[in-house]
Amino acid sequence: MGTQSLKIFAESKIDSIPQLQTLPEEQRFAMRVVSRVLPFRVNQYVIDELIDWSRVPEDPIFQLTFPQKGMLSDANFDHMASLLRREASKAEIKAAAREIHTQLNPHPAGQKKNNVPMLAGTPLPGMQHKYRETLLFFPVQGQSCHSYCTFCFRWPQFVGNKSLRFASSDTDQLTGYLAQHPEITDLLFTGGDPMVMKAHSFAGYIDALLRPELEHLRNIRIGSKSLTFWPQRFVTDPDADDMLRAFERAVQAGKHVAFMAHVNHWRELDTDICRQAIARIRNTGAVIRSQAPLLRHINDDAKIWSKMWREQVKLGIVPYYMFVQRDTGARRYFELPLTRCYDIYRDAIQQVSGLSRTARGPSMSADPGKIEIQGVTEIAGEKVFVLRFIQARNPKLVQQPFFAKYDEHATWLKHLRPAFGQDHFPFELPDETEATNDSATNDADQIPAEWN
């Protein structure tokens, strides 16, 4: 299995996957319908090594990679299904899909409007600067993945609509912006998945970041699912060694290299080649940290998280974040009430040692920042959520606790209301709403009416 070549199945080939032939035609048709709207891509390694086909459709990795009917509203599903049944033209199907996309909040947390960096008065495509210390970079060569996660909040990158994408290949713009912003200590390579690019392309970016004028850039982060969806990237791919040497050069130059592994279930770590990949990355001096959202149908069980965190620590991975499912894309299928998210986090943390309690959460990556649910309690006779900012557009808000009225149905920040008779949350006050990046635009995030 270690020498397996990367074989990809995308939307047009969904019916050619042999294992799906055992499923009822109605279910396969539903997959075809959803795959016309939300991106579908899976590779042979995931099919053969990670999915337990005796448990399909309930198997968590199957849910993580294959489209399910509930990912669309009934109205949108029925509309697309009717187009497929009458064999509508590709143009009509594409137009219907794009209309549905507009209803799915393709750019949550203000990322299209509030996070845009400027250089010499010009907006920089393919970059986002939301927090003072951290810049996100979307290399154009990394705008795909070895497989697509069904919950992914980056789904607009993959639906063929250039107006929804972030991407850049301009190294000079990247280094120029970094040079003008000495407050930036962290650069995050994101996508898509930056590890789909060739090693020589990635190395070009890395070498540019090692210039003396960028000494203030201390941390290089790499957000990737490749560790568990295509570990061959670091073991048997033709340029695997070259990719790892790029990691080594950054470490030897004094940068902290953090491989931000997206791991949604402990089973993803349970193959020999994945463990080889982990060891090889760690041998470069890079640190592997793990993060994932809480998802119905996949990991909404404290035992799954506690087992995953224990296994990660055993393998030398640092548990980093438990996220709340973002309010975008197929969130209707995956989201959980915030109170349930907190219960799962608390119960999981109670089952592990201190070495696994580095995982922070449950955290909402919302417009004003990363907001952690610290607990549910009663104060002065009022039941409340205890919240705090782990990170914020306004650094003054970081670590400051605040309170929201308890709501057993709330699944996202916009559903919460201030506690104790207050009119505003701290981040809604006029002097607290300015973005820390003075180069970014500051329009209000637009939320589809159906979510209000």
pLDDT in tens, 138-197: 999 988 999 999 999 888 888 777 666 676 778 999 999 999 999 999 999 998 999 999
Give dist(CA 175, CA 177) in Å, integer: 5
Q: Out of 161-170, 274-283, 373-382, which region has the weakest mean confidence (pLDDT)?
A: 161-170
pLDDT at 80: 98
pLDDT at 441: 37
One-letter amino acid of 62: F
Are residues 266 and 308 in contact, defined by beta-carbon separation less than 8 angstroms? yes
| Cross-strand partners of 137 | 127, 189
Number of H helices, E strands in the chain: 13, 15
Give dist(CA 141, CA 294) in Å, integer: 29
Higher-pLDDT residue of 337 and 445 is: 337
One-letter amino acid of 60: P
Contacts of 61 (CB under 8 A, 6+ apart): 46, 50, 51, 52, 265, 267, 268
pLDDT at 408: 97
At 70 the three-state DSSP class reads helix
Q: What is the mean pLDDT of residues 414-421?
A: 96
pLDDT at 111: 65
Chain-wide mean pLDDT for the chain? 91
Which pTM value belongs to this model?
0.91
Among 128, 218, 112, 120, smallest CA distance to 436 is for: 128
Give dist(CA 93, CA 301) in Å, integer: 37
- Listing DSSP states for 167-218 in one string gives -B--HHHHHHHHHH-TT--EEEE-SS-GGGS-HHHHHHHHHHHTSGGGTT--
Q: What is the mean pLDDT of residues 47-55?
A: 97
Q: What is the mean pLDDT of residues 94-122?
A: 86
Could you tell me the domains of the chain? Answer: 8-102 (no CATH), 108-451 (3.20.20.70)
Q: What is the mean pLDDT of residues 213-239?
A: 98
pLDDT at 110: 67
| pLDDT exceeds 60 at position 450 | no
62-80: burial string, b at 16+ Cβ within 10 Å, e else: bbbbbbbbbbbeeebbebb
Taking only the tens place, the pLDDT of each residue in 283-337 is 999 999 999 999 999 999 999 999 999 999 999 999 999 999 999 999 999 999 9
pLDDT at 1: 45
